[in-house]
Structure 1
Amino acid sequence: MLSHKLLPKRLLSKTFKQLTLGTLAAILTALPLQAGQRLHFIFGPINISLGIDSLDTFAREGVVTRELADYMRLAGVDDEQKALFREALNTRADINAVQMSRFLNTPTGEAILERVGYLISIRGGRNGKFALRGAMIKAALDQKEGLTLLNVLNNLPVNMQFNLKDILQTADYVDLLGRGTDSVIEEMRELSAQQAKKETPVNFSTLPDIRQPGPYGVAPERVLTLKDEKRQRTFNVLLFQPQKFPEGKIPVVIISHGLASRPQDFSDRAKQLASYGYLVALPQHPGSDFQQVQNMLAGLSRELYNVNEFIDRPLDISYVIDELEVRNNREFGGRLELKNVGVMGHSFGGYGALAVAGAPIDFKKLEEVCGRRIWGPNLSLLLQCRALELPRKEYNFRDERVTSALVINPVTSAIFGSQGLNQVKIPVMIGAGSSDPATPAVIEQLQAFVWVNTADKYLVLVKGQAHVNFSQLDASIKALIDSFPDLTLPKQQILDEYANSILVGFAEVYVSKNEAYRPFLTSAYGQYISQEPNTLYLVGADADVPLSDVFNRLRPGSTPAISSPRVLNKN
């Protein structure tokens, strides 16, 4: 999942509106139809159409028919865009057709198709999701032609229409999100510089370098298998601890992985904390982990994730603390500090961490957001909106033993909203990336920072961070990414150093109650460790009002039919 910030620069030279036909085909790589049929472009009373045979001739022979030439002239498509358009029509995607079919038949896959189906519908206005899905699967099963845009165009059984008003409103939202992200980056730069000037000067070169491992070493990991009899839920937990614990109480941190991820994906973070004297527990969340995705791809499940994970994930965190309480005297001499536990969560794990921190599900907010026709580029809504399938009752996952939370790329805006996050009153650090298409920072994290109701809160924004750890992607995805010559990926080593230092600093201050580490939670320290090209900005609670003002300034009058003005408003 890559954002507009990561796309090749030559595709960003003009806006979505200006590219119309050529860019629509290049971006929406699943627009089907049979030869001899027509694509219709609808804008109010205006209805114009283009024969698929013109696209077929152009794709196969490079010949621009008279009909297509009229469209290209109307759309202002230049020679470079023509070449890109033809390349897009003919480029083959090597995708397992069976696995693609299984994904598109999950509730998440159907939700994606339904959203695209509003923009590209069956002639007459009926949602085009089923026609799109059938054409994509049929093209992918074609061993000769394969899944190309042209082959999909030649496999859709009905005429399709582009609903240009909705498409342009979506484009406005994309543009708004891009401008909003740029504005917030600039605001974060200024705010961090202002806060750094007000802070007591510190010579960080004389302090321990907490980007590096700590002094206590790391013992071999342990794996526990837990079974919560009440929920009939069995899951594994990875445990990391120092080779030898320091004297006194043993601080405890729980790390919750994201959707389609695994506990071991966060082993480096756990080892870093363990080397500073922490016991770190990483629970598996069956039903929304890597294995669940593999089960879906293998045809063993119709779910990318189970909707009950909105309940089970926070309960998993609390159950791990329960288990550590049982083991405390027997295995740790009663030294575990289990009334002051820190929780770290990534993405869906960030949801769980904020839930045990006190944020309840806000079904009214969910209904409002999920009922909108236009969502824009916020993939996390595909996750959040499924919570509407839960029984409607008040869910209280607050665990008083959890006294601080550090969340990276968390999903927040619809599932909690302002009212839910306002009930989080413990210390919180929120990490965001400027190039995150799954949980866009402007919508999902920066608002959450404003809404969280605590004076001990911090926001970390990293330019270029894009939700996933690219070093953990499989070979096929890496090859796809490498095929884009202008694509700029974040430097994972830099991101790892940021994560190591911020996690240790936050845990030392709020889990271990070690005030000597508070300088590591300052804007000045953010400046000290910041590296190009992935600049880091760190601000504290004083940035609350200025960032709220940024959201309020991003209320354009040009996009009244989309949700973005309300999304960017503090209230």
Structure 2
Amino acid sequence: MQTSPPLALLLAVSLAASPPARALEQIELKLPLVDTTFSIRLAELSDPRALLAGHSDLAELDQATRGRIGRQLVELFNAPLPLQALEVAHQVVPSPLAQQALLLLSSLGGVDGLPADVSSETVLNVLDLAYARGSLTMLGVLQAVPGQTAFVDLGKGLFLLQRMNAQLRSAAGLLDGTTPAAVDPALAGPGPLPVRRDTLNLSVTYRPLPLEVVVIRPSQQASGRLVAISHGLWDGPESFEGWGRHLASHGYTVLLPRHPGSDRTQQQAMLSGKVPPPGPAELRLRPLDISALIDAAAAGQLGLPAGVNTGSVVVLGHSWGATTALQLAGARPRSQQLQKRCNDLQDPQRNLSWVLQCSFLGATDQAALADPRVKAVVAVSPPMALLFDAEAAPVFQGRVLLVSGSRDWVVPPGPEAVAPMARIARLGNRGHQLVLAGGGDHFNLGSTYDQGGGPLRGLLLGWVNGAFAAGSGVAPGLGAPELLPPNGWGDGVLSLSDVSGRLPSWNP
């Protein structure tokens, strides 16, 4: 899953397969509560105050509303966009999830005379041009859009912008005044053990094709402790092999399956028209993949050294993979909230992850698959609020560390992390923890094999170490000891803060 309502607004006004020569010159604004549109030359928006001080129809309307319309224009067109890194845009824009954002936001407007099919190349060209002029703003983006006239619904645009900002604001409030964890080289640094990486195929009865599995483990002195990592939608093990390599250098054996019904290969086949999008059945098949790997390790089918303990396993996951980890830890998907809220476009907690969660409706109530061998999990940016019932607290049999980025607009921290964990905390401290990554988004928390583990490497190692060291004390319960060490699991780039203790009094 992989930018922000303002960027999606860009997508909504840049519907072009091949850009024409002339640049966008005019905007037709539809204003809230007014059944008409106002034409504005794009050049005039470089100084909205001058425009609104003039004698145009729009200026008179602004005066009649005591400046309210003017303030909205300034807010929408001149605010910096949350997405400021072009390398992230180049990863995100071509993805089908970005196309889903476009479908959701297409009512915001369009560009006169351009075809309705979306070109990723055009969108990226627009971003490149806007970025070259300085900090990205809506005005800068519009100045780079090809075409003649853009039609923008100001009221809908402001509503979506304000909703997104509100969904990020709760994380900012929790981080305010906290001291990020320090960096301990014992956790953040590579371990002393040499590491090997292998790829194998495992036949399973419930899928027509075998599972591809990446195995990363110490080539000597392995601890016998097993960790599994589940990737997200339209992703693959390669995005998280750095996590595995870091853990393996400290003694752990790590298994990373490629979930065939929702990985990058499936995405490519879907885009070429060969297969449909991932079906609801994948909600159950993904945890089955992890359980099958544990079974295979126990049966000696993965070529692992003797002595691997499959009775106590830790599972890490990102995005949909994090949802998979929560299922294995005992969270039961339910259809009640999906049926109630999926069609409400005005829901204040609605976010892009609902596109995925609502697609599970057909199989939700049959997707519970807790595995008692999974004693603890790390769930990084999991879509969970609707899936696990937004009006109740999910019950876990395994210990849970939830990690959310403060700038994650795909799975925003407010509705998808802070609110669910606050409900859990109000039932009493059972040892589950929430860590917020200041500056973290949906794409910068993973790590490829050669990246050394990424910003979460110390956090993951600290939690995994604590889970195995706890023995029977790893089970959640009132007064259960924390699994993270008191400090040292931070990162030098992103600020990582445990906000678990602030949740009971927090009103998301």
What CA RMSD, in Å, does the superposition of the two structures yield over aligned residues?
Answer: 4.9
Aligned with 1:295 (options 229, 248, 269): 269
Query: Any idea what the Cα deviations from partners look like across 1:440-462, whole Å, max 9, x if unmatched?
Result: 12221223333447712122122
Query: Any idea what the Cα deviations from partners look like across 1:221-276, whole Å, max 9, x if unmatched?
Result: 111112222332422000111121357xx111101111222212211211121122
Aligned with 2:339 (options 340, 352, 367): 367
Structure 1 counterpart of 2:407, one-letter code = S
Task: Normalising by structure 2, report the TM-score.
Answer: 0.73
Q: Does the 8 Å contact 2:377/2:401 carry over to 1?
A: yes
Find the residue that maps to 2:186 and give its secondary structure: coil
Deviation at 1:395, TM superposition (A): 2.5
Residue aligning to 1:123 = none
Find the residue that maps to 2:456 and give its secondary structure: helix
Deviation at 1:470, TM superposition (A): 8.2
Residue aligning to 2:153 = 162
Query: Any idea what the Cα deviations from partners look like across 1:390-412, whole Å, max 9, x if unmatched?
Result: 24643321111111111111221
| Counterparts of residues 268-279 of structure 1 (less than 5 Å) | 268-279=242-253
Find the residue that maps to 2:187 and give its secondary structure: coil
Find the residue that maps to 2:289 and give its secondary structure: helix
Residue aligning to 2:164 = 174
| Inter-partner Cα distance in structure 2 for 1:67 and 1:37 | 15
| Inter-partner Cα distance in structure 1 for 2:355 and 2:323 | 14
Q: Does the 8 Å contact 1:31/1:152 carry over to 2?
A: no
Aligned with 2:397 (options 425, 432, 437): 425
Q: Does 1:245 align with 2:217?
A: no
Structure 1 counterpart of 2:70, one-letter code = G
Q: Does 1:521 align with 2:476?
A: no
Q: Tell me which moved more, 460-469 or 289-298.
A: 289-298
| Inter-partner Cα distance in structure 1 for 2:78 and 2:499 | 42
Residue aligning to 2:375 = 403
Q: Structure 1 stretches of 5 or more lacking a match?
A: 5-23, 86-94, 121-127, 197-203, 474-491, 552-567
Question: CA distance change for structure 1 residues 185 and 56 in 2, over 3 Å: closer, same or farther?
Answer: closer
Deviation at 1:179, TM superposition (A): 3.3
Q: Tell me which moved more, 456-465 or 306-315.
A: 306-315
Deviation at 1:167, TM superposition (A): 4.4
Larger relative contact order (Cα-Cα within 8 Å, sequence gap ≥ 6): 2
Residue aligning to 2:283 = 310
| Inter-partner Cα distance in structure 2 for 1:116 and 1:311 | 30
Residue aligning to 2:330 = 358
| Inter-partner Cα distance in structure 2 for 1:48 and 1:168 | 17
Question: CA distance change for structure 1 residues 421 and 252 in 2, over 3 Å: closer, same or farther?
Answer: farther
Structure 1 counterpart of 2:503, one-letter code = L
Q: Does 1:262 align with 2:236?
A: yes
Find the residue that maps to 1:423 and give its secondary structure: coil
Deviation at 1:342, TM superposition (A): 0.9
Aligned with 2:174 (options 157, 176, 184): 184
Q: Does 1:462 align with 2:437?
A: yes
Deviation at 1:437, TM superposition (A): 1.2
Residue aligning to 2:105 = 116
Residue aligning to 2:357 = 384
Residue aligning to 2:419 = 447
Question: CA distance change for structure 1 residues 179 and 506 in 2, over 3 Å: closer, same or farther?
Answer: closer
Q: Tell me which moved more, 367-376 or 342-351.
A: 367-376
Q: Does the 8 Å contact 2:28/2:149 carry over to 1?
A: no
| Inter-partner Cα distance in structure 1 for 2:9 and 2:120 | 20
Find the residue that maps to 2:36 and give its secondary structure: strand
Find the residue that maps to 1:548 and give its secondary structure: coil
Structure 1 counterpart of 2:116, one-letter code = G
| Inter-partner Cα distance in structure 1 for 2:43 and 2:440 | 41
Deviation at 1:354, TM superposition (A): 0.4
Q: Does 1:319 align with 2:292?
A: yes
| Inter-partner Cα distance in structure 2 for 1:83 and 1:418 | 34
Residue aligning to 2:198 = 222
Higher helix share: 1
Question: CA distance change for structure 1 residues 472 and 401 in 2, over 3 Å: closer, same or farther?
Answer: closer
| Inter-partner Cα distance in structure 2 for 1:458 and 1:78 | 39
Deviation at 1:284, TM superposition (A): 0.4
Aligned with 1:502 (options 441, 459, 464): 459
| Inter-partner Cα distance in structure 1 for 2:9 and 2:333 | 34
Structure 2 counterpart of 1:235, one-letter code = L
Q: Does the 8 Å contact 1:433/1:467 carry over to 2?
A: yes
| Inter-partner Cα distance in structure 1 for 2:14 and 2:212 | 44
Q: Does the 8 Å contact 1:254/1:343 carry over to 2?
A: yes
Aligned with 1:336 (options 289, 308, 321): 308
| Inter-partner Cα distance in structure 2 for 1:548 and 1:274 | 36
| Inter-partner Cα distance in structure 1 for 2:142 and 2:410 | 24
Structure 2 counterpart of 1:224, one-letter code = L
Q: Does 1:43 align with 2:18?
A: no
Residue aligning to 1:557 = none
Question: CA distance change for structure 1 residues 77 and 169 in 2, over 3 Å: closer, same or farther?
Answer: closer
Query: Any idea what the Cα deviations from partners look like across 1:368-399, whole Å, max 9, x if unmatched?
Result: 332222256732122111112x2464332111
- Could you tell me the percent identity over the aligned residues? 24
Question: CA distance change for structure 1 residues 111 and 395 in 2, over 3 Å: closer, same or farther?
Answer: same
Q: Tell me which moved more, 322-331 or 441-450.
A: 322-331
